[in-house]
Amino acid sequence: MYEQLYSRIQQCSTIAVTSHFRPDGDAIGSTLALGLALQALGKKVYMWNEDGVPARYAFLGGAELIQPLPDAVPADVEMLICVDTGDWKRLGDRTQQLLADFPLIVNIDHHGTNTRYGHLHVIEPETAACAYVLFNMLKAWGVKLTKPMADALYVGISTDTGSFQYGSTTPEVMHAAGELLAAGVDVADVNRRVYQEVPYTSLLMQREVLNHMVVEAVGQLAHYSMPAGRKAELGVTLEDTKDLVDVVRVLQGVKVAVIFEDLEDGRIRMSLRSKDPSISVATIAAQFGGGGHAMASGIRMRGELAACREQVLNAIRKELAV
């Protein structure tokens, strides 16, 4: 499939690359690495994200090239490549509307729940990261990795493996990380920027979670709920609410952790994490129209916070047999 996609790319002069809303390190790293690689292949490239680049990843070389979605698709775009996005809906409302009828959509991903939207697919389920898929792809294409490409791929792989702590961290993934370091990644500097520097508002949000989290099911289930208006009361931004599930996930004895967030638009956002390989949060999420990985998934539901929360918690309790 790498060769087939490369052949189609060679037929195009202008390509757009995008990823899911509320982008994480893999979404941004994959968008940037592929966009820069396509430029190195002589292509004109647009890089888009509906929510832009989070501040923690703005240090990446070329991050400023990832722009908000335009009001109209430029007439010269011949191919749209979606990276790290398992479901077309995850691109965001505006993106779905603007690009729904685009004639050539490529879907590059690593989520086992990928819906296989688009016209060409490179999907490697449950591999470490989309950035890892791209690492292998760019090697197969003979692309020489520059430092900005290597930094972007490293951030994608590192963040999606929990800084190489998750079970998806295979020997091959570690070899890939080593090659990226050899290509110029300053691992101490990147890790400091990604993991060791957070704004004060993010710490406020973490304190909020610790003060109000609920632990139940004999210590196996931990969750926190953010009602509508709470972000404004605390003075925090949407970016400060990312990765909050990790605050409760680390509690000893917890098998499943969940964050519930009222988005104030009639939808409830949920982040689910499992620490027990026998409990797939992807299976749980799928019951409510969500998806992701067995150990890390997400849901967006319409309804009241309390009602949505109880439905999902009941499904988790059933899996925990409590």
What pLDDT, in 10s, does the model give residues 261-271? Answer: 998 888 999 99
> Side chain identity at 250, as an amino acid letter?
V
Q: What domains lie within the chain, and their CATH numbers? A: 2-195 (3.90.1640.10), 200-320 (3.10.310.30)
pLDDT over 90 percentage in the chain: 87
CB burial of 96-120 (b: ≥16 within 10 Å; e: otherwise) equals eebbeeeebbbbbbbbbbbbebbeb
pLDDT of residue 291: 87
Instruction: Output the average pLDDT for the chain.
Output: 95
Convert the pLDDT of each residue in 3-30 to its tens digit.
999 999 999 999 999 999 999 999 999 9
Q: In this predicted structure, what is the pLDDT of residue 265?
A: 85
Q: Annotate 107-175 with DSSP letters as a single string.
A: EEE--TT----SSEEEE-TT-S-HHHHHHHHHHHHTPPPPHHHHHHHHHHHHHHTTTTTSTT--HHHHH
The single-letter DSSP state of residue 70 is P
DSSP string, 236-271: --GGGGTTTHHHHHTSTT-SEEEEEEE-SSSEEEEE
With a cut of 50, list the residues of the chain below it in pLDDT: none
Q: Which two tokens stand for residue 242?
A: 């990312």
Beta partners for residue 301, in sequence order: 268
